[in-house]
Amino acid sequence: MIFIEPSIQLLKDHTDEPTKKMLHHLVERKRKYETYKSKCFKAQFLTFVLAMGFIVYLYAFIVKPTGGQLEMIFHYIFNGKYHILMVLLIVGGYGSAQYFKKKEEKAETEFHNLRCEVIRKSIELWPQPTHWKKRHEVFSLMKNEFDINLFHESK
């Protein structure tokens, strides 16, 4: 048996088991999307901090003391042990940010598609007039508890 969120499981007579599983998958996809979004932001932030730190270091300790002479600047940059390491760290951070951005976009698309499917199928999932009133309670729970809007398809 699949573990289903306790708050979704408490919707006993509001909906059937397949719908509960669908709602649970929706919550899982939302969490996956938020995880990749967070990882992407952290990678972008780290890359930005490293790049800015390296630029400040280059300016303060290489460009300024050499008086802006390009020959001396390149000499100091390419002879420094850790300069190449810093450049590789910045490039690696940028690559990680790009990787997580693609994963984030894919997870967002999956989440949005499943969310729209639940909205479109709501007529089938809550067919009778009495169930239709309970649909609003389920949608409110999803909005309040998991920040998933099932009232409208727009993002």
pLDDT at position 155 over 70 = no
Asked whether residue 95 is domain-assigned, the answer is yes
- Cα 25 to Cα 4: distance, rounded to the nearest angstrom: 9
- Domain total of the chain: 1
Comparing 98 with 67, the larger pLDDT belongs to 98
Asked whether residue 100 is domain-assigned, the answer is yes
Asked whether residue 74 is domain-assigned, the answer is yes
- Cα 88 to Cα 110: distance, rounded to the nearest angstrom: 33
* Mean pLDDT of the chain, nearest integer: 90
Angle at CA 96, nearest 5°, toward 90 and 98? 105
Asked whether residue 153 is domain-assigned, the answer is no
Asked whether residue 75 is domain-assigned, the answer is yes
pLDDT at position 1 over 60 = no
Say what the pLDDT of residue 89 is: 96
Asked whether residue 10 is domain-assigned, the answer is no
Q: What's the pTM value of the predicted model, to 2 decimals?
A: 0.86
Range of the domain at 80: 18-146
Reported as a pLDDT band with limits 50, 70 and 90, residue 106 is: very high
Q: For the purposes of burial, counting CB atoms within 10 Å of the CB of 44, is it exposed (0-12), middle (13-18) or buried (19 or more)?
A: middle
Reported as a pLDDT band with limits 50, 70 and 90, residue 28 is: very high
**38-52, 79-93, 122-136: the lowest-pLDDT one:** 122-136
Q: For the purposes of burial, counting CB atoms within 10 Å of the CB of 83, is it exposed (0-12), middle (13-18) or buried (19 or more)?
A: middle
Asked whether residue 102 is domain-assigned, the answer is yes
**Which of helix, strand or coil describes residue 118?**
helix
Asked whether residue 137 is domain-assigned, the answer is yes
Say what the pLDDT of residue 152 is: 86
